[in-house]
Structure 1
Amino acid sequence: MSAVASVKGFSALARILRHVVLLVTGALILIPFLWMISLSIKAPGEIFHASFSVWPVQFYGIENYEKALSEAPLLRYMGNGLMVCGLILALQILLCAPCAYALAKLRFFGRDLVFGMVLAGLILPHQVLSLPLFILGYKLAILNTYAALILPYVVSPFGIFLFRQFFKTIPDDVVHAARLDGLSELAIVWKVMVPMALPAVIAFAIFSVVGHWNDLFWPLIAVRDQSLMPPPLGILVFKNEEAGSDYGPLMAASTLVVLPLTIAFLAAQRWFVEGLTGGAVKQ
């Protein structure tokens, strides 16, 4: 009985430690966001006060958010980000789904080599390609256009890998039945595979939209026209040219930019987790 009690005590202690680690990690992640929201509702003199409080002594949120929306074209930046992220995601799915289907369900010479190149693309930072992409954009005369923000991302190694892993979990009998019904390979991709892999599509969509919505490095190189700037680059211009040291409106603008992503993730988190774990099976 003492051995059983000790095992139960150890299990209870392990659960407590696990929850403590999760709570501490979650707090460390949330503190910057809490600080950002707190600064967005504080008066300028209170932001640099020696003592920090979450709730301001003088609520200054209305003024800060009005400045964020009026002193810089924030809505234009967010519209640019929405359009760029939407087009990138649509083109990525359009290209990645057939590629993943070919790697998962078709047999052809060099398939393993192609998949190896996809895996190599996963570990290659996109910043490494910034110089050749810039030169290519200059040769094609697409710099300082929406095309410069979209075209470098239309092929996603991560998207191909994620879809391929999920497609591998779909039985081959489903594909054979679709072929017997007279469907072409492309029709099988869009009418059978992609609908069955909807969780993976949603998970990839979240990764893609978050990554490109928050991207600052490549837009900083590719565009100069303020009317083309996505949200992170637009906020940078807002800080330098308009707000200066007035960090209240800057934090308000940052909060407005982060808010759509937070809402989208909370709405789709169940499919997000299912999409990431659905392909995690032994092949």
Structure 2
Amino acid sequence: MTALRLAPLSPGRALRFCVLVLAAALFLAPYLFMISTAGKAQSEIFTSSLALIPSEPHFLENFAKAFSRVSMPLLLWNGVIVCGLILAIQVVIAVPCAYALAKLKFPAARLMMALIMLGLLVPIHATALPIYVAFDRMALLNSYMALVAPFSISVFGIFLFLQFFRSLPDDLIHAARLDGMSELGVVLRVVVPNAWPAITAFSIFSVVAHWNDLYWPLIVVSNQAYATPPLGLLFFRAAEAGDDYGALMAATLIITLPLLAAFLLAQKRFVEGITMTGLKG
């Protein structure tokens, strides 16, 4: 048997490899610090020396505090409900709108495209006050409606799907119409099955954004029964003892792991969706 020979790295490849390793280390550093802090006692966290490996592991104690100080299953369940409802409504609205702009011709198409581009420039902070006043007058604060409704229409989602649908062959759409399909049938039976990479990519963006959102839940939710995961982290604050950073990092790990697992499972589709949305302008 002949021994395997590794091809020598050229200086250019070695430099690129070193840059990638350095970038990966920079991105992983906060996670390593979070895992390290989640295993330390409060006294060890505030010592002058910096060590990633705890001298005496306190993982079980800190994770127990994370589950006892707040209802962690309820926080995760609220996050799933809010993100799931937002994503479902956004996709149901964005896919037909993007299809109409990409494949149908109508007089207001240019105006609607301009409004979409304008909508991308308006942050949620600019509309937070009037939306809050409206929900307050309708007695909808502290509800899933208040958490979901402002994000039901995603102009970013419409723009993303628009770029993807433009890359679909027009002959495919014409063939479906010749077979007698309505425009709704074309969307459901032709466009959506071919749009799963784009839908997966948008799902990652949407879920990550709303799972980590603290600004809007902090405004409309004061009842812990409707608290989302980031808002639940604020409940670790103690007026007398200060922040319990060990339990706080343990809770942060708990609410971060579902996102990490979802991204790893959908990584291939995510990359395909991001790549294919730029095939045709």
Same fold (TM over 0.5): yes
* CA deviation after TM superposition for structure 1 residue 16, in Å: 3.5
| Contact 2:167 2:280 (C-alpha < 8 Å) held by counterparts | no
- Which residue of structure 1 aligns with residue 277 of structure 2? 279
- Secondary structure in 1 matching 2:28: helix
- Which residue of structure 2 aligns with residue 109 of structure 1? 107
Structure 1: tracts of 5 or more residues without a match: 1-10
- TM-score, normalised with respect to structure 1: 0.92
Deviations for 1:35-85, whole angstroms, at most 9, x for unmatched residues? 011100111211112112111110110111011011211111111010000
| Aligned mates of 2:17, 2:231 — CA distance in 1 | 38
CA RMSD of aligned residues (A): 1.7
* Equivalent residues in 2 for 1:80-159, closer than 5 Å: 80-159=78-157
Aligned length: 273
* CA deviation after TM superposition for structure 1 residue 197, in Å: 0.7
* Equivalent residues in 2 for 1:176-187, closer than 5 Å: 176-187=174-185
* Equivalent residues in 2 for 1:223-262, closer than 5 Å: 223-240=221-238, 244-262=242-260
- Secondary structure in 2 matching 1:59: coil
Which region of structure 1 is more displaced relative to structure 2, 181-190 or 15-24? 15-24
Deviations for 1:131-168, whole angstroms, at most 9, x for unmatched residues? 12112222332111110000000100111011111111
Distance 1:218 1:267, change over 3 A: same
Letter in 2 for 1:282: K
- Which residue of structure 2 aligns with residue 191 of structure 1? 189
| Aligned mates of 1:185, 1:242 — CA distance in 2 | 62
Instruction: Give the share of equivalent positions with the same residue, in percent.
Output: 50
| Contact 1:166 1:279 (C-alpha < 8 Å) held by counterparts | yes
| Aligned mates of 1:38, 1:109 — CA distance in 2 | 59
Letter in 2 for 1:165: Q
| Contact 1:91 1:154 (C-alpha < 8 Å) held by counterparts | yes
- Which residue of structure 2 aligns with residue 212 of structure 1? 210
| Aligned mates of 1:242, 1:70 — CA distance in 2 | 18
* Equivalent residues in 2 for 1:1-80, closer than 5 Å: 12-80=10-78
- Secondary structure in 2 matching 1:96: helix
Structure 2: tracts of 5 or more residues without a match: 1-8
Distance 1:237 1:197, change over 3 A: same
* CA deviation after TM superposition for structure 1 residue 23, in Å: 2.4
| Aligned mates of 1:243, 1:281 — CA distance in 2 | 55
* CA deviation after TM superposition for structure 1 residue 240, in Å: 4.3
| Contact 1:72 1:242 (C-alpha < 8 Å) held by counterparts | no
- Which residue of structure 1 aligns with residue 4 of structure 2? none
Distance 1:241 1:70, change over 3 A: farther
Which region of structure 1 is more displaced relative to structure 2, 219-228 or 176-185? 176-185
- Which residue of structure 2 aligns with residue 201 of structure 1? 199
- TM-score, normalised with respect to structure 2: 0.92
